[in-house]
Amino acid sequence: MDTRALSSRTMEAREIPGLFFAGEALDITGWLGGYNLQWAWASGAAAGRAA
Ligand SMILES: Cc1cc2nc3c(=O)[nH]c(=O)nc-3n(C[C@H](O)[C@H](O)[C@H](O)COP(=O)(O)OP(=O)(O)OC[C@H]3O[C@@H](n4cnc5c(N)ncnc54)[C@H](O)[C@@H]3O)c2cc1C
């Protein structure tokens, strides 16, 4: 999923309200050292709070 299709605050799809994405479903590349897990948790928390 291209991140431009989402709200950067809530991870909600701009075109489909109520549809949220997190973690590896998104086109994000993290540096080695835990950043992929950090992204999965942070984006999941943001989406979960907004849903
Ligand atoms: C070998 C390996 C080593 C890694 N090491 C690191 C590291 O050291 N540091 C780091 O930051 N990142 C690391 N990563 C990356 C990190 O693990 C992932 O970026 C992160 O786990 C992604 O989280 P996610 O929740 O998006 O996906 P996942 O953790 O893959 O979770 C997706 C979940 O959805 C479930 N699922 C799939 N299909 C369905 C379905 N149809 N219905 C219901 N459930 C379904 C799966 O079973 C799975 O539990 C590593 C990855 C691998 C493969």
Task: Indicate the number of domains in the chain.
Answer: 1
Full-model pTM: 0.90
User: In the structure, which protein residues have their CB atom closer than 6 angstroms to any atom of ligand 1?
Assistant: 23-24, 30, 34-37, 40
DSSP state of 11: -
> What average pLDDT is seen over the chain?
92
Q: Which of 5-14, 24-33, 36-45 has the lowest mean pLDDT?
A: 24-33
Q: Residue 24 Cα, ligand 1 centroid: separation in angstroms?
A: 7
Amino acid of residue 16? I
- Provide the residue range defining the domain that includes 12: 3-50
Rounded to a whole number of angstroms, the CA Rg of the chain reads 11
At residue 23, does pLDDT exceed 80? yes
Residues 6+ apart with CB under 8 A from 5: 13, 14, 15
**pLDDT category of residue 18 using cuts at 50, 70 and 90:** very high
